């Protein structure tokens, strides 16, 4: 998933952490767009034919389609061709440190081109449509693994996939889980974080325009694609962090809020999802999106 993984397990059998890591390896193998044998890659290469996938992959794509419709297309899992055209055509660690080749941007086709058959668990993508699970996959995986650990006997869990995380149950100090909001890459301020959140059960996710950035002939690009244009989003925010009932919802909400043009619009997006958040602009100023006070430690 192109990121660091941090799993905390409180109580339960000692093998649960190893089980969690094996499960995450399994999900990576199923969902990575950089592995030609993954289910997502096979689906994208099917040229319009239906592909039967595993239950967990079907659930991921089905959730992504539902979330895209719920956000009016602000979150859109069909931006893969736009990402590739922008130059993000391989694992980020393998991108050319110089100038990355790119192609003209075109809008994402949208989830109307995705056909789901729940009876046989098949998915069919319309012409020119490819799925990128990057905007929901880490959160969905965190929710899944956290639930499985609790069901296996853990008293409490935190599954953190590069800052998209889910907490459940007992924390290490038997109080609320403390979740730091990381400073942006390149932030030279004295503090390594921008605040701390406290929650007993829920998800936190961040969308940032500074974590995956590369240089093209026409300037810098980043991985947050505006599906309406197919290009890296041009917005007032450098990052948006969201607190929601689960990690997948927080991750989708962070993307949808990031693609807004002002604080009121970003707050409205999260309010419709029952979520709250914090947006940072180019000056480093924080904009509270909804009533975040109950979650501030």
CB 166 within 8 A of CB 159: yes
Tell me the average pLDDT across 74-97. 80
- Total number of residues shown for the chain: 297
Q: Hey, what are 144's tokens?
A: 């899944």
Res 16 pLDDT > 60: yes
How many CA atoms lie within 13 Å of 36's alpha carbon, on the beta-carbon side?
0
Q: Is 274 exposed, middle or buried (0-12, 13-18, 19+ CB in 10 A)?
A: exposed
In the structure, what pLDDT confidence band is assigned to residue 185 with cuts at 50, 70 and 90? very low
Q: How far apart are CA 277 and CA 258, in angstroms?
A: 11
290 has pLDDT over 70: yes
Average pLDDT across the chain, whole number: 91
Contact 180, 297 (CB under 8 A): no
Which has the closest alpha carbon to 4: 19, 26, 21? 21
Mean pLDDT in residue range 64-68 = 98
Q: What is the CA radius of gyration of the chain?
A: 19
Mean pLDDT for 89-103 is 68
The pLDDT of residue 38:
97
Using CA atoms, how far apart are residues 286 and 7, in angstroms rounded to an integer? 29
173: left (phi over 0), alpha (psi -120 to 50) or beta: alpha
Q: DSSP state, 155? A: S
- Contacting residues for 237 by C-beta, under 8 A, at least 6 apart: 209, 258, 260, 266, 279, 280, 281
Full set of structural domains in the chain with CATH: 14-134 (1.10.3980.10), 137-295 (3.10.520.10)
pLDDT at residue 95, as a whole number = 64
278 pLDDT band, cuts 50/70/90, is very high
Res. 92: pLDDT tops 80: no
- Rounded mean pLDDT of 161-175? 94
Query: What confidence category does residue 40 fall into, taking pLDDT thresholds of 50, 70 and 90?
Result: very high
């Amino acid at each position: 998933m192109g990121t660091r993984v941090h799993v905390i397990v409180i109580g339960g059998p000692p093998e649960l952490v190893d089980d969690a890591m094996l499960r995450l390896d399994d999900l990576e193998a199923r969902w990575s767009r950089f592995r030609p044998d993954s289910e997502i890659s096979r689906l994208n290469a099917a040229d319009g034919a239906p592909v039967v996938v595993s239950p967990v992959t079907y659930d991921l794509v089905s959730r992504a389609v539902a979330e895209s419709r719920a956000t009016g297309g602000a979150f859109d899992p069909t931006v893969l061709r736009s990402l590739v055209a922008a130059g993000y055509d391989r694992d980020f660690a393998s991108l050319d440190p110089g100038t990355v080749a790119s192609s003209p941007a075109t809008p994402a086709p949208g989830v109307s081109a995705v056909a789901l058959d729940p009876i046989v668990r098949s998915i069919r993508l319309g012409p020119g449509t490819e799925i990128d699970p990057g905007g929901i996959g880490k959160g969905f995986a965190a929710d899944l693994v956290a639930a499985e650990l609790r069901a296996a006997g853990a008293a409490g869990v935190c599954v953190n996939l590069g800052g998209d995380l889910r907490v459940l149950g007992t924390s290490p100090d038997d109080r609320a889980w403390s979740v730091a909001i990381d400073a942006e890459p390149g932030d030279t301020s004295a503090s390594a974080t921008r605040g701390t959140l406290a929650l007993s059960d829920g998800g936190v996710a961040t969308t940032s325009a500074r974590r995956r950035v590369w240089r093209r002939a026409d300037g810098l690009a980043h991985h947050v694609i505006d599906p309406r244009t197919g290009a890296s989003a041009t917005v007032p925010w450098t990052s948006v962090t969201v607190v929601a009932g689960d990690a997948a919802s927080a991750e989708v909400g962070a993307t949808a809020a990031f693609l807004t043009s002002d604080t009121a619009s970003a707050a409205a997006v999260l309010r419709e999802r029952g979520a709250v958040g914090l947006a940072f602009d180019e000056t480093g100023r924080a904009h509270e999106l909804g009533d975040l006070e109950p979650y501030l430690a």
